[in-house]
Structure 1
Amino acid sequence: MSEMKISGDTIVEVHNIETYQSNDNDSITIRRIGTSDYLLFDVNTLNLYNSFSSNKSIAELALINSDHDYQIEDIIEFVDVLLDAGFIKTIDGQKISESLTDNPNLNVEPSKFYSLIFGKVAWTIYIFSMFANLYLFFTFETLRPKGSDFFVSNSGIISILIIIISTWIVIFFHEYGHICAAKSVGIGAKVKWGYRLVFLVLETEVADIWSVSRRKRYGIYLAGIAWTSILILFCALMQFYFFNEFVIKILKFAILMQLQTIVFQTLLFLRTDLYYVLINFLKIDDLNESMKYIFKNVLTLQFHNVSTKLNNLSAKERKVVKIYSVCSLIGILVSLYLFFVIDIPIALYSVKQTLEKTLRDPLFSISYWDGIAMGTLTLCPIVILIVYVLIDLRKRTVKGNI
């Protein structure tokens, strides 16, 4: 592939779309035909998108849309957004992606079961569980999570098995909550790997969420936290009925993992569940994307330069984005500090201990395999994270080369 520079002379062709606007949505939602890929436009942006079908260059489109203050640079920036989202068909006649036939089965039929577990009664129970957890942790000191709860067993092999199984149960329960909530309003969802900054995550993709009202989206976004709260309450109550020390350690570890999941949600810049609740409430399509433009302007010392994206925001929305950007910058710095000052040293220490055990202990002894198990537990998430970052960088490189 040869590198192609997009300029004012470039002619762009876009894919066919369908549009719709709900009563409680100020923006127009567009979907690329044959996919579940959605973007949110205002009327002017939609008109600009449709003008790409006129076989005119970007410079000509800027002239046609001059009434809306679209400059050549603004349209080029818009083309970059469309390219990343997969809405570009050809650039100067060179095919970027194929047109697709529409799939009428993007959505799923909501069932009574899913509607029941995310109905009013169910949400009352979920909210009750949150307050019940706070009461139990405040009242019973033995239930309060501690850092030592992470160490379930002195054996590395047993610890790694328990950590893997418990972690997967916690993650599955959280993500399956999102899936069930999505099905309760008649849209599909799928779970996939991803990463946020320097953290490997498992996330639920609900591509069709823009096809439902903002009010219904809250249930989908908060479903994971709701089910996590229920599981925490279950693990806390079970400690009153089990007296086996090993079982109680497992229950405590499960609570600790789930509380970490909830705390992680407060890092909004990582696009957590609470981040989507916030943008849904504020009716700002993408706070993180707007934040990137502000950071770009600051880093390039172009303090007075604003992009088309920011120009389309109201004064109030732009103020919210600026406040969010400052808070996110603090969160990013804190997260990077924790990762490099705490997580990485712990990983290096674990690897060092592994090497010492494997070199000191007899080959294939129990202690030897304990060292191997702990080293594997430490390195696997880091290796997977590096692989996904490299795959993502490769995809970005391919998109930037035509």
Structure 2
Amino acid sequence: MHDLASRPDGAEWIVGRMATGEFVALPEVGKQALDLLGQGLSSAEVGERLREATGDDIDVPDFVAALLALGFVAELDGREVPQPAPPKPTFCWIRPRHVRWVLSPVLPVLLGLLIAAALLSRPPVPLSYHTLLWSPHGSAVIALGAGAGWTLLLLHECAHLVAARATGVAGRMRLGTRLQFLVMQTDISGIELAPRRHRLTAYLAGIATNLTVSALAALAAGATHGTPRRVLAALTLLALLPLPFQLMVFMRTDLYFVLQDVTRCRDLYGDGLAYARYAARRLFRRTTGRDPSRELPAHERRSVRAYSVVIVVGTTLCLAFLATVTLPADITLFARATARLGPGHTTAELLDATTVVVTLGGIHLLWARTWWRGRRAGRGKSRR
């Protein structure tokens, strides 16, 4: 077996390989079988040991096949199992010992005091769109917004990565999609093995970073005047703008993982989606199948059914906004720009149209490519 990590979780065990980020939940008998196989026993010997211990016949060869599919087996019958190299962690030079301090229980207290000081600072930063329009020059406003936006996004994801790395989880940052949104996301698979406080720290690290930047900018704005104050006030608001997005838990945002952990659900999104599909088929009398939520423990069943409503309502509203606002606006903007690319237009008009076509087309192509790569990667990935 490869080097595997595990921890008890109620009546089950969470077991996985930190190098690949592949984790599964096993019953007690599965953990026993895994330990016996790790000792070098054959499938037949493991089956006999389990029969003596439990009185049941366990299909160990099928269990071994599942372990092979998960990439947990290094050698089989003395032969090395060919496997792709584990993905390289992002910022692999950051070691757990370098960032262990982020798990200190003192840190949230200090951040709370900082945020409280910003809220009480005088003069306060007005939470108005006028604050964002800090300069009469639109290009300067857009430049600050774009620069601060991408910098804050990177800091947000780095916070997740650093908090996870402190627990020993590798972590990998990459582009992803959430419905019509192109997002940056951090894979911290393996955090399931950490204590709950550390898990919640990793989930909430991004939000805490945005709040910290906003608080520091607000305090600095209160100590300055003129253009620096206006810039810092705008930065205060820019750091807060991404936070309402985190409330959209139907898209597996940071707060979704907090919700999943607090409700003690194994796969809140996957189970909620499966139940929503079952309920839709039942509504239109197109199914005689069994309710998938019936297989879940009672506490998970209630959470999954409630969350399925959130998925349906949230997804419907998001796609409706896409169909009625975003797409018509993008199509109109793109059509106007392409119409100005022909002859008979000034150099300024041609430059403006080219910028719109390249920028808008590039964003949509990047979204499509990212969505397709995520879809292909998800086809063969085992469910955790």
TM-score, length-scaled by structure 2:
0.73
CA contact (8 A) 1:193 1:201 kept: yes
The answer to whether the aligner puts 1:165 opposite 2:150 as a matched pair is: no
Match of 1:265 among 246, 260, 274: 246
1:1-400 aligned at under 5 Å gives the runs 18=4, 20-22=6-8, 26-32=11-17, 35-43=20-28, 86=70, 98-99=82-83, 109-111=95-97, 114-132=99-117, 140=124, 143-146=126-129, 149=132, 161-245=143-227, 250-251=231-232, 253-301=234-282, 302=287, 305-307=290-292, 310-352=293-335, 354-355=337-338, 361-363=345-347, 365=348, 368-395=350-377
How far off is 1:297 after superposition?
Answer: 1.5
Q: What is the rounded CA distance, in whole Å, between the counterparts of 2:351 and 2:23 in structure 1?
A: 49
2:222 maps to amino acid: F
Which secondary structure state, in structure 1, belongs to the residue aligned with residue 96 of structure 2?
A: coil
Counterpart position of 1:4: none
C-alpha change, 1:127 and 1:349, in structure 2 (3 Å) is farther
Deviations 1:311-357 (A, max 9, x none): 44222220111011112211111222222223223323443554466
Q: What is the rounded CA distance, in whole Å, between the counterparts of 1:109 and 1:268 in structure 2?
A: 31
Q: What is the rounded CA distance, in whole Å, between the counterparts of 1:386 and 1:229 in structure 2?
A: 31
Deviations 1:85-111 (A, max 9, x none): 85599xxxxxxx9447999x9998532
C-alpha change, 1:29 and 1:306, in structure 2 (3 Å) is same
Q: What is the rounded CA distance, in whole Å, between the counterparts of 2:165 and 2:154 in structure 1?
A: 16
Which secondary structure state, in structure 1, belongs to the residue aligned with residue 242 of structure 2?
A: helix
Which secondary structure state, in structure 1, belongs to the residue aligned with residue 175 of structure 2?
A: strand
Deviations 1:98-142 (A, max 9, x none): 447999x9998532x5233442332112223444555569x84x5
Q: What is the rounded CA distance, in whole Å, between the counterparts of 2:267 and 2:230 in structure 1?
A: 41
Q: What is the rounded CA distance, in whole Å, between the counterparts of 2:247 and 2:159 in structure 1?
A: 19
1:239 maps to amino acid: A
Which secondary structure state, in structure 1, belongs to the residue aligned with residue 184 of structure 2?
A: strand
1:362 maps to amino acid: T
5+ residue gaps, structure 2: 36-41, 45-55, 74-80
Q: What is the rounded CA distance, in whole Å, between the counterparts of 1:187 and 1:354 in structure 2?
A: 46
CA contact (8 A) 2:246 2:253 kept: yes
RMSD: 4.4
- The number of equivalent residue pairs is 348
5+ residue gaps, structure 1: 1-14, 56-66, 69-74, 90-96
CA contact (8 A) 1:108 1:186 kept: no
How far off is 1:242 after superposition?
Answer: 4.7
How far off is 1:43 after superposition?
Answer: 3.4
Q: What is the rounded CA distance, in whole Å, between the counterparts of 1:16 and 1:311 in structure 2?
A: 35
Q: What is the rounded CA distance, in whole Å, between the counterparts of 1:114 and 1:362 in structure 2?
A: 55
Deviations 1:145-184 (A, max 9, x none): 328837977556x566444322221111111111221233
CA contact (8 A) 1:182 1:206 kept: yes
C-alpha change, 1:116 and 1:304, in structure 2 (3 Å) is same
Pick which of 28-37 and 271-280 moved more. 28-37
1:168 maps to amino acid: W
How far off is 1:225 after superposition?
Answer: 0.7
How far off is 1:216 after superposition?
Answer: 1.5
Pick which of 236-245 and 34-43 moved more. 236-245
How far off is 1:292 after superposition?
Answer: 2.0
Q: What is the rounded CA distance, in whole Å, between the counterparts of 2:17 and 2:256 in structure 1?
A: 25
Q: What is the rounded CA distance, in whole Å, between the counterparts of 1:289 and 1:214 in structure 2?
A: 21
Q: What is the rounded CA distance, in whole Å, between the counterparts of 1:202 and 1:233 in structure 2?
A: 23
What is the identity percentage for the equivalent residue pairs of Structure 1 and Structure 2? 20
Q: What is the rounded CA distance, in whole Å, between the counterparts of 2:215 and 2:277 in structure 1?
A: 44
